[in-house]
Structure 1
Amino acid sequence: MDSGVTAWLLTSAALVFLMIPGLAFFYGGMNRSKSVLNMLMMVVGALFIVGILWAIYGYSMAYGSTAGYFVGNITDYFGLEAALAPPGEGDAFPTMVDVVFQAMFACLTVGLIAGALADRMKFGAWIIFAAIWASLVYFPVAHWVWGGGWIGELSIGDAGVIDFAGGTAVHINAGAAALAVCIILGKRLGWPKTPMRPHNLTMVMLGAGLLWFGWFGFNAGSAYAADNTAAIAATNTLLATCAAGLAWLIVEKIRDKKATSLGAASGIVAGLVAITPACANVTPMGAILLGLVAGAVCAWAVTLKYRLGFDDSFDVVGIHLVGGLVGTLALGFLASDLVEEGGQNGLLYGGDLNLLIVQIIAAVGVMVYSFILASIIALALKATIGIRSDEEDEVNGIDVAEHAETAYELGDSGAGGAFAGVGHTARAKEVE
């Protein structure tokens, strides 16, 4: 066992875990104050349920021996008993290290979807959706990409699919599901005519900063070694994100005459998403170019919801689906064997079309599968337990309706309007 590799992977797992509260802050700040707690709870609730399912059968479905290149054998690591064994001779780290590192990816991916569903989804329905979607979509797709499934094995000539840290399995996957569910769930009351501005942009920037910090573990940790590849991945993560943030602000300045903090935060995440599949396969200048393209394209893509009429509350589609597609497909142009001796070259480095073709097949395969399965799950829940909150609860804010509390107590009593504190209200009734 290599103690250095083991320590780096455990550190990376902790960094990726920090992305989950970062995501909660990022989404929570963009929400209206009357429903911010619900958004935090959706992200945290996904962590709770997916973490448990990952231990019971998720890791086995993702990384067990392949069954038809579609899903892992559920019995291989069921309950994680098989992962308790110490590493064998030649193994760099214990299996349990991989279990906890990849668990963070699973929990984060499901949480990403929540950002498209703000202000209007029943919390119980969300938890059930998260459990089913993780089981039927994320676990198998992780196997497709990293566990010996069909995407990992797909090749045309000498070209094989590149997805270093999750452009397909994480971002395209979550973005496609978010699109499906937000369409089925319907628009927020009053959208898009009623202004629904972020209630706390400081919180959004904090969340973006935590995401960026944790993303170094997300990308560099995916090297599964503390080596040159990890260093390249970390460097490219920094450069692409800086470029994307800058590009987003430039687009805003040209289009809207102002460069905003929300645009900066969104550009940060767009750059992180786009570099995820490519961080260990492009040069530093390639990373900057990719970031510039991703920032500009995603800044445009977030306007599509107004033109097409789907209420993607916090731009999960425009940033994660589109950003994931940009990063995945860009490898067909920007991949370079200068980064890895014997690696693949994209079109700009003398490669042929084969790499671009396999990247397209992988991206479309994940996108279509996730969209269809998410639609089926959401429609089934809608027809049975219902997925949308009552209209009155949406108007007043679903924090009180779903969680019996509010994020902010205003005034001496803490009572009043959408901010009626449940504890204060109960005591007031006792006095009466």
Structure 2
Amino acid sequence: MLLAVVVGTFVFPALPKPTTLSQINAADTAWMLTATALVLIMTPGLAFFYSGMVNRKNVISTMLQSFICMALLTVVWVVVGFSLAFGDSVGGVIGNPATFFMMRNVLDGAPWELAPTIPLALFAMFQLKFAIITPALITGAFAERIRFTSYTIFILLFFVFIYAPLAHATWHPQGILFQLGVLDFAGGTVVHMSAGWAALASAIYLKRRHEPSHSPAMVTFVLLGTGLLWFGWFGFNAGSALGANALAVTALATTMAGSAAAALAWIFFDAVKGRKPSAMGTCIGAVVGLVAITPAAGFVTMPHSVAIGVIAAIISNQLVDWRSKTNIDDTLDVFPCHGVGGMVGMLLTGVFAHQNVNSANTTGNGLFYGETKLFLIQLGAMVGVSAFAFAGSFVLLKVTDVISRLRVSEEEERMGLDLSQHGEKH
């Protein structure tokens, strides 16, 4: 009898009741449907962005590492992922896995308390897209040397033990970081810092490639990927206002200004070093700006978004140079760009945030306005999240390696992952 009930739950789940909640707003719903689609297109954009930078024999494998996240993480999200991130809080660090198990009470459920004008299912699908792209970001650090099956195990573990707890702690009203007053508008901590520190742990754990230097396969792919990322990022940041409102406009405007300023700052800084203004540098700079403005997008003014983009671009540019002189083989510089960009954005949110921009959610004014509390909160969260994401990812890499060998053989690496892992050729 018990088995029949369990099987019946999976095969014949309870049908949703019609939603009659009067607070659902058509304009907010329409915008959030659009924003959800925009965020999803960022993952194929990332696939093009990364694949254009690797060796031609690893283009397909690099792209597939992003695409598989859309399939794997969606199924995990439906089964238990949404519950872990946004279910009833357990100690402020994780959600109860039973809250929305198999999306129970989601299609007909009451709206999320911080998104009261859109259906709960739409909020769940919007947040899913963040969960998809975060592990995909890590792939740039171990590109060209990881076994595909082992990679899928790692990203599953990463989601359960790193991403979901951070999402819950930061964005759930009972989350420990939320309660402390940490500001992260669209994922500087949850997405970029977690992926960046995991990337650094991966680069250290997997060690250097046997052929560490190569020419990018196709710079035009990098340009295409940047365009898709930039386009989708408006859903990422402006969508995090969770409605068609003035805050969404603010987030869209600061996102545009911050990324444009960072793109220019990157190539100007390269010029100061005697380098030519390159398409690759412009693209990397724009993405660094997008990363850095993400936590601050709904809390700062447009002039300050320009400052954030410029500062982040210069710091990341310097760290890319520094990383290249070490033995750390972060293939596509995920940590200097996403990890450091996220940290810079996190700290500068504590410098430039002001309650006049977002009076409903800002927990204080930034250091620029003479207040220290918010900056110290952001600094403490940055240190704590960094330690958690780096140490946790290192442990998960070791666990994955025990379950399934992480690194391809030297022969497979020289052959290229397209052929050795997938039997396909670009």
Map 1:20-419 to 2 at 5 A: 20-85=43-108, 87=110, 91-147=116-172, 148-154=174-180, 160-191=181-212, 195-341=213-359, 343=362, 344-350=364-370, 352-407=371-426
Per the TM alignment, residue 86 of structure 1 is displaced from its structure 2 partner at its CA by 5.2
Report deviation, 1:274: 0.2
Displacement of 1:382: 2.0
CA distance in 1, matches of 2:357, 2:41: 29
Whether 2:35 is the aligned partner of 1:12: answer yes
Question: Structure 1, residues 49-85: CA drift from partner, whole Å, max 9, x if none?
Answer: 1111111111001111110111011111011021021
TM superposition shift of 1:286: 0.4
Determine the C-alpha separation between the residues in 1 that align with 2:50 and 2:112: 44
Equivalence for 2:3: none
Question: How far has the Cα of 1:27 moved from its partner?
Answer: 0.2
SS in 2 for 1:387: coil
Deviation at 1:338, TM superposition (A): 3.2
- Kindly indicate whether the alpha-carbon contact (under 8 Å) linking 2:112 and 2:120 is maintained by their aligned counterparts in 1: no
Please give the alpha-carbon distance, in whole angstroms, between the structure 1 residues aligned to 2:99 and 2:76.
15
What CA deviation, in whole Å up to 9, does each residue of 1:317-366 have, x standing for no partner? Answer: 0110000000000112111233134743112123x221111101211222
Deviation at 1:165, TM superposition (A): 0.4
- Alpha-carbon distance in structure 2 between the residues aligned to 1:86 and 1:380: 37
Unaligned runs of 5+ in 1: 155-159, 408-432
Structure 2 residue identity aligned to 1:101: F
Alpha-carbon distance in 1 for matches of 2:216, 2:112: 53
Residue 89 of structure 1 and its aligned partner are, at CA, apart by 12
Deviates more, 1:122-131 or 1:353-362: 353-362
In structure 2, the partner of 1:418 is none
- Alpha-carbon displacement from aligned partner over 1:298-330 (angstroms, at most 9, x marks no partner): 111112322332111111101100000000001
**Equivalent-residue separation in structure 2 for 1:292 and 1:385 (angstroms):** 42
Structure 2: which 5+ residue stretches go unaligned? 1-23
Separation in 2, partners of 1:249, 1:379: 38
Do the aligned partners of residues 139 and 88 (structure 1) sit closer, same or farther apart at CA in structure 2, a change above 3 Å counting?
A: closer
Aligned residues of 1:283 and 1:338 also touching (Cα < 8 A):
no
Deviation at 1:44, TM superposition (A): 1.1
Match of 1:427 in 2: none
Partners of 2:408 and 2:317 lie apart in 1 by 30
TM-score normalised according to structure 2 size: 0.91
Distance of 1:256 and 1:269 partners within structure 2: 22
How far apart are the structure 2 equivalents of 1:385 and 1:64?
31
Q: CA deviation at 1:383?
A: 3.1
Identity across aligned pairs (percent)? 38
Contact 1:87-1:93 within 8 A present in 2 as well:
no
Match of 1:420 in 2: none
CA positional deviation for 1:87:
4.3
Deviation at 1:393, TM superposition (A): 1.3
Q: CA RMSD in A?
A: 1.4
Report the alpha carbon displacement of residue 295 of structure 1 after superposing the two structures with TM.
1.1
1:396-430 per-residue CA deviation (whole Å, 9 max, x = no partner) reads 211111010101xxxxxxxxxxxxxxxxxxxxxxx
TM superposition outliers: structure 1 runs of 4+ over 3 Å: 86-91
Instruction: Tell me the equivalent position of 1:425.
Output: none
Aligned to 2:16: none
Q: Deviations over 1:153-181 (max 9, x none)?
A: 11xxxxx2111000100000100011111
- Label 1:329 to 1:400 Cα distance change in 2 as closer, same or farther (>3 A): same
* Gap change, CA 1:316 and 1:354, over 3 Å in 2: same
Aligned position for 1:429: none
* 1:89 to 1:381, Cα distance in 2 relative to 1, 3 A: closer
2:7 counterpart residue number: none
- Size of the aligned set, in residue pairs, is 398
Aligned to 1:417: none
Which letter maps to 1:33? R
Residues in 1 aligned to 2:332 and 2:109: alpha-carbon distance in whole angstroms: 43
For residue 186 of structure 1, report the CA deviation from its aligned partner: 1.1
